[in-house]
Amino acid sequence: MVDYLRIARAYLRGTTAAEWCFMLLCLVTYSVAGEEVGRNQSAILGGVLSRKSYMAMFAYFNAFLLGVLLRDNIAHPWASVLPRYRQKHLVVAALIALFFLAIPMFSMEFVGTSDIAPTSVAVIFLTCLAAGLWTLQQPVVVIPFLVFVFASSSSFPLLAAFLAGTYPAASAVIAFMSLLALWALASRMLTLKEETFEYATARMWGDLFRGRGPVETRVDYLAALPADQRASLQNFDPQKVPFNNLKQVDNLAGYSERSLWQRLQLWRLGTTQLRASASVGQQFLISFIFIAGSVYIAPLLGAKNPAREFVVIMSLMLMTNPFNIWLLWSTRLHRLGYESLRPRTRQEFVRELGLALLWDMTECWLGGLLLMGIGAALWAPELLQVENILLFILGTGVGQLFTYGMMGIWLLKLLRRGMVVSILCALCPFLAMAIWFLWIGGSIGLELNIAIASVLAAVSVATIALAYRRWCRADLD
């Protein structure tokens, strides 16, 4: 019993506990007061905000983290030596899924009224649990999960009948297939071998989650690849292809005392070979094409007027831009110890790096404003009102400031806590801004929105000051 409790503590602490609490809070909040909000939205957005989607997201995202931790604990040499080591971890994982995922989902089912039958809750739990656990090996399982989350029961009578428990035979078949997938995963974990690529992938995800350096993680990842692929990737240096950075450095050379503007350009070159403006331009085109396609395809799925939601959501995503800004800066962390040896004081070093990061985020913000203006002019002209424009500029500007402060705090923690913390920190401000603009901001008036933005701006400034002080005293080695 002591061994099981010790294993359980390793699964239920830190980032995992924070993510579970956040998802549980979302599930409880919606079960108490969110039904009316989802009913008043368009078909697609109403599908995302429905009870079945909240249950699916609660089970899937928690199962994904559980799968990362399970593989990380099993992908060790002693897992094949210690008696019943893997079996104990599988038992603990099953109990965590039962007590921390299944029980809250069934409990929320009986809070108030609902159109989801208990058999459908069981099917959602089993399928999303299996999908989350299998995502690392088979990312394609994300597609049916997203289809289920976005589908609205009001637009698909078969889905509404299934959720109401009208097709028990179909529910039994889907539940059996999910149990079969869980059994296959357990068998795979019990026979996982060190020389397989799956073993190295499990170590890589576990290292990222627990904060191991990206250089060591890349070495382990390359070691598991075939010889031809390993040789080509070992000689690949993203900072030297296509030599853009080297040419830019030559253009900035020849100055005995560079100005702040020139120093910021040099600091930004150390993050990626692609300029932030070019990255924002690519994301802008992708987002624009996605909005255009969604506006014309969504009505075929039952949505009446989805343009407003798509334009706002894609603009906010372009502003947050977590994959092109957050992850690129996080991969730079292992070089900060060397960069701090340059002839700058620690205060100047931290200040100039912070301004370089702010420069990148400002370009993302301006790209989002441009996408919002063009998208609204083409597909949602009702958004082009003076009050809406002021609210969007003010709110997103303050939101970016808050995201900047949070990123400064959590990038420092990423040196010790892992990649997942940074991703969650990028996701939370985006969700907060999306909720504010889509469902709260338009109904509480401009004055109250300005008051909320002022409070958030004050908190952001305090957070930035705290992050600056911690970075000035941080150990970067």
Residue with tokens 């079945």: 52
Predicted model pTM: 0.60
Distance CA 256, CA 35 (A): 64
pLDDT at 36: 54
Tokens of 316: 């906010």
Amino acid identity, position 381:
P
pLDDT at 363: 87
Distance CA 342, CA 185 (A): 50
Amino acid identity, position 70:
L
pLDDT at 215: 46
Distance CA 398, CA 373 (A): 18
Q: In this structure, are residues 397 and 365 in contact, taking their beta carbons and an 8 Å threshold?
A: yes
Digit-by-digit pLDDT tens for the chain (477 residues) are 767 788 788 787 776 777 788 778 777 776 665 555 555 555 555 667 778 888 888 899 889 888 888 888 887 777 777 788 888 888 888 999 998 888 888 887 666 556 688 888 899 999 999 998 888 878 888 888 888 887 777 777 788 888 888 888 888 899 999 999 999 988 888 887 776 777 777 777 776 666 554 444 455 555 555 565 555 555 545 444 444 444 555 554 544 456 777 777 777 776 665 667 777 888 888 888 878 777 776 666 555 556 777 787 788 778 876 556 666 676 677 777 778 887 888 888 888 888 888 888 888 889 888 988 888 888 888 778 887 888 888 888 888 888 788 777 766 665 555 555 555 655 666 566 666 665 555 556 677 778 878 888 888 888 888 888 888 887 776
Going by the DSSP 8-state scheme, the letter that residue 102 receives in this structure is I
DSSP string covering 41-65, please?
S-HHHHHHTSHHHHHHHHHHHHHHH
**CA dihedral sign, ordered 19, 20, 21, 22:** positive
pLDDT at 178: 92
Domain positions in the chain: 2-192, 267-473
pLDDT at 9: 80
Residue with tokens 């120093």: 263
- Of 119, 145, 148, 134, the residue nearest 182 (C-alpha): 134
- Of 253, 277, 256, 257, the residue nearest 266 (C-alpha): 253
Distance CA 219, CA 210 (A): 16
Q: In this structure, are residues 15 and 421 in contact, taking their beta carbons and an 8 Å threshold?
A: yes
Amino acid identity, position 16:
T
